[in-house]
Amino acid sequence: AQSVTQLGSHVSVSEGALVLLRCNYSSSVPPYLFWYVQYPNQGLQLLLKYTSAATLVKGINGFEAEFKKSETSFHLTKPSAHMSDAAEYFCAVSETGRRALTFGSGTRLQVQP
Amino acid sequence: ETGVTQSPTHLIKTRGQQVTLRCSSQSGHNTVSWYQQALGQGPQFIFQYYREEENGRGNFPPRFSGLQFPNYSSELNVNALELDDSALYLCASSRGGQTSSGNTIYFGEGSWLTVV
């Protein structure tokens, strides 16, 4: 069975600081991995996805994530946080042939001025 | 803008009532999935429809049911509402099966359901 663990339900950074949001997954086969962002009172927006091509994936708004098979991780990073990055971030996993995305419980990112 | 539209955006229902939520998928997408997102949690998969047939289901009781129409729009119906059904219901559309080749899944803004 596939599952996702997001370490840290809340992360606070200063504007301009590095953003690191952690995601570990479990999967019995090579997974597809996704990061979504949810702004208050809105739906989910895809930030980036890993589909077994390059292990370093670049997404929108300056975010990127690196797939590390040995660590079963897919952490999300951004070199310099902006106030507009404040939102809830969800990591999700799926496998070929599965119908559903399995989401982590989310990490709320706060950006302090 | 993801091209996935949902209605209504907010609604309040009484325990025991029935509700229908609607979703219009992105153009060219033949697969629609529904997710429930309770407050403070990640979305949970309810079910998926592919070419008008239910194509997978999560751990939700039968009082959660759905339809997909020839134009690939979809409805989620919930009967005998319970207080715990209060959540954001998200519709997602994609091409050719949920995660075939890691197809991108696009989400709508959601319908907020409050059961009192």
In tens, the pLDDT along A9-53 reads 999 999 999 999 999 998 877 788 999 999 988 889 999 998 877
B101 pLDDT above the threshold of 60: no
Q: Which pLDDT belongs to residue B97?
A: 58
Compute the average pLDDT of residues B5-26.
96
Vertex B16 angle, CA B11 and B19, to 5°? 40
Mean pLDDT, chain B, integer: 91
Q: Which pLDDT belongs to residue A43?
A: 86
Distance CA(A78)–CA(A100), nearest Å, equals: 27
B30 pLDDT above the threshold of 90: no
B56 pLDDT above the threshold of 80: yes
Q: Which pLDDT belongs to residue B14?
A: 98
CA distance A82 to chain B (A): 21
Distance CA(B98)–CA(A98), nearest Å, equals: 7
Per-residue pLDDT of A83-111, as tens digits, reads 999 999 999 998 766 668 899 999 999 99
B102 pLDDT above the threshold of 80: no
CB contact under 8 Å between A98 and B99, yes or no, is yes
In chain B, which among 51-90 make CB contacts under 8 A with chain A? 55-56, 58, 90
Check residues B94 and B65 and name the one with the higher pLDDT.
Answer: B65
The number of C-beta contacts closer than 8 angstroms across A and B is 75
CB contact under 8 Å between A100 and B108, yes or no, is no
The first and second tokens of residue A103, run together, are: 């989401």
Tell me the percentage of chain B whose pLDDT exceeds 90. 70
Check residues B101 and A110 and name the one with the higher pLDDT.
Answer: A110
Q: Which pLDDT belongs to residue B34?
A: 96
Residues of A in contact with B100 (CB under 8 A): 96
Distance CA(B22)–CA(A54), nearest Å, equals: 37
Residues of B in contact with A32 (CB under 8 A): 99, 102
Q: CA of A5: which chain B residue's CA is closest?
A: B42
B23 pLDDT above the threshold of 90: yes
Q: Which pLDDT belongs to residue A107?
A: 97
Residues of A in contact with B45 (CB under 8 A): 99-102
Closest CA to B11 of B85, B69, B68: B85
Residues of A in contact with B108 (CB under 8 A): 43
Distance CA(B20)–CA(A112), nearest Å, equals: 41
B98 pLDDT above the threshold of 60: no
**B33 touching A (Cβ < 8 Å):** yes
**With left for phi above 0 and alpha for psi between -120 and 50, is residue B24 left, alpha or beta?**
beta
Per-residue pLDDT of A41-77, as tens digits, reads 888 999 999 887 788 999 999 999 999 989 999 999 9
